[in-house]
């Protein structure tokens, strides 16, 4: 039976930003819950190895997620499993509605809903994610030092990340389905001038192949001639875009042209009492450390909002 539940702070999404916000909310002795529809950790739960989180030279994404969750739960954080379908305002309350029918009322909501990369959708992509298929050059590039790497895409992100990967790779192939790039001209020039980058034009990836450990080669097809070929690589980085999960709030909320939520320095959105952290928020990079910092700031700001609301209602404090 559907219930209406009352909390002080509700966090939508159990990624690093959400779990950190949950830690700070619970540590401030606020009744706090993280609602996650899938695995705790978000994108990092599917990351085989994390080596750029301070304090851990090498740890799996799943283990890091569990450590974050266990730490927060020691302070009293509750974790619920459900799918949030809408967030809206009702006076001073912020209401979170779930697919189960349950509704959560709170004084503040933190959106840690993340997003997802645009996938190639080819055989082998899911199988080799974490074994040579990656969507984050900064996160995983160093794992493929001195190997041949393929990048798929022709926009700014694909070409820039291709350049970044040349720091580690012996060669980087940029595979693009058209015969010219969509990236900005200055970004293109840097790529064309880089001796480690080679372009494969008018071509799509049909399949990602490998052994039990990692990617070994790609099956390619030229879209103009139909000719098929094979390319030996140790890793492939698709950069076809990223879709932020930013459409939950009923009220009009400010976003950038790509759908990322805009926030102020407190991580508060244009809707008071609703905050956004991590990958769903407009920012320069998407890293675990960014999300953790966002979560800290949002939880502290949410606590201050609750104090302000309590001050307004307290005759003693207003005396």
pLDDT digits (tens, 9 = 90+) for 143-164: 999 999 999 999 988 999 999 9
98 is catalytic: no
Q: Are 151 and 239 in contact (CB under 8 A)?
A: yes
Per-residue pLDDT at 317: 52
Which pair of tokens denotes residue 273? 């009492």
- Among 52, 98, 140, 146, the active-site one is 140
Which pair of tokens denotes residue 95? 């209401």
Residue range 179-195: mean pLDDT, rounded:
95
Per-residue pLDDT at 23: 98
Q: Are 18 and 34 in contact (CB under 8 A)?
A: yes
Determine the angle formed by the axes of helices 61-73 and 16-27, rounding to 10 degrees: 20
Tell me the torsion sign for CA atoms 108, 53, 15, 40: negative
- Among 52, 89, 98, 136, the active-site one is 136
Q: How confident is the model at residue 316 (pLDDT cuts 50, 70, 90)?
A: low
Q: How confident is the model at residue 43 (pLDDT cuts 50, 70, 90)?
A: confident
Q: For residue 288, how far is the Cα from the chain centroid?
A: 9
Q: Are strands 171-175 and 197-200 parallel, antiparallel or unpaired?
A: parallel
Determine the angle formed by the axes of helices 288-313 and 16-27, rounding to 10 degrees: 40
Report the alpha-carbon distance of residue 274 to residue 225 in Å, rounded: 52
140 is catalytic: yes
| 43-52, 93-102, 310-319: segment of lowest average pLDDT | 310-319
- Among 98, 139, 279, 294, the active-site one is 139
Secondary structure (3-state) at 184: coil
Report the alpha-carbon distance of residue 287 to residue 53 in Å, rounded: 9
pLDDT at 47 over 80: no
200-250 tens-digit pLDDT: 999 999 999 999 999 999 999 999 999 999 999 999 999 998 899 999 999
Residue range 100-118: mean pLDDT, rounded:
95
DSSP state of 301: H
Q: Are 210 and 230 in contact (CB under 8 A)?
A: no
Domains of the chain: 4-117+242-313 (3.50.50.60), 137-238 (3.50.50.60)
CA-nearest of 158, 152, 151 to 177 is 152
Residue range 294-317: mean pLDDT, rounded:
89
Per-residue pLDDT at 94: 97
136 is catalytic: yes
């Amino acid at each position: 039976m559907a219930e209406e539940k009352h909390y002080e702070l509700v966090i939508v999404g159990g990624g690093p930003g959400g779990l950190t916000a949950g830690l700070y909310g619970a540590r401030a002795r606020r009744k706090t819950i993280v609602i996650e529809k899938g695995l705790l950790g978000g994108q990092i739960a599917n990351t085989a190895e994390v080596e750029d989180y301070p304090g851990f030279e090498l740890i799996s994404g799943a283990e890091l997620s569990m450590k974050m969750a266990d730490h927060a739960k020691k302070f009293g954080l509750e974790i619920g499993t459900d799918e949030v379908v809408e967030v809206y305002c009702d006076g001073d309350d912020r209401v979170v509605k779930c697919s189960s029918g349950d509704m959560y009322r709170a004084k503040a909501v933190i959106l840690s809903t993340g997003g997802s990369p645009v996938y190639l959708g080819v055989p082998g992509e899911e199988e080799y994610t974490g074994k040579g298929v990656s969507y984050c050059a900064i996160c995983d590039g160093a794992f493929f030092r001195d190997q041949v790497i393929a990048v798929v895409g022709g926009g700014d992100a694909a070409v820039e990340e291709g350049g970044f990967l040349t720091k580690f790779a012996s060669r980087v192939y940029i595979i693009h389905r058209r015969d010219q790039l969509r990236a900005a001209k200055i970004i293109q020039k840097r790529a064309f001038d880089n001796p480690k980058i080679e372009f494969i034009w008018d071509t799509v990836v049909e399949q990602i192949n490998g052994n039990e450990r990692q990617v070994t080669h790609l099956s390619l097809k030229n879209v103009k001639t139909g000719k098929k070929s094979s390319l030996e690589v140790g890793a492939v980085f698709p950069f076809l875009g990223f879709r932020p999960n930013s459409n939950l709030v009923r009220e009009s909320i400010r976003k950038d042209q790509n759908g990322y939520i805009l926030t102020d320095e407190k991580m508060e959105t244009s809707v008071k009492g609703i905050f956004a952290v991590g990958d769903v928020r407009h920012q320069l990079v998407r890293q675990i450390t960014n999300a953790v910092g966002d979560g800290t700031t949002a939880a502290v700001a949410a606590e201050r909002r609750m104090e302000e609301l309590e001050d307004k209602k307290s005759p003693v404090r207003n005396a």
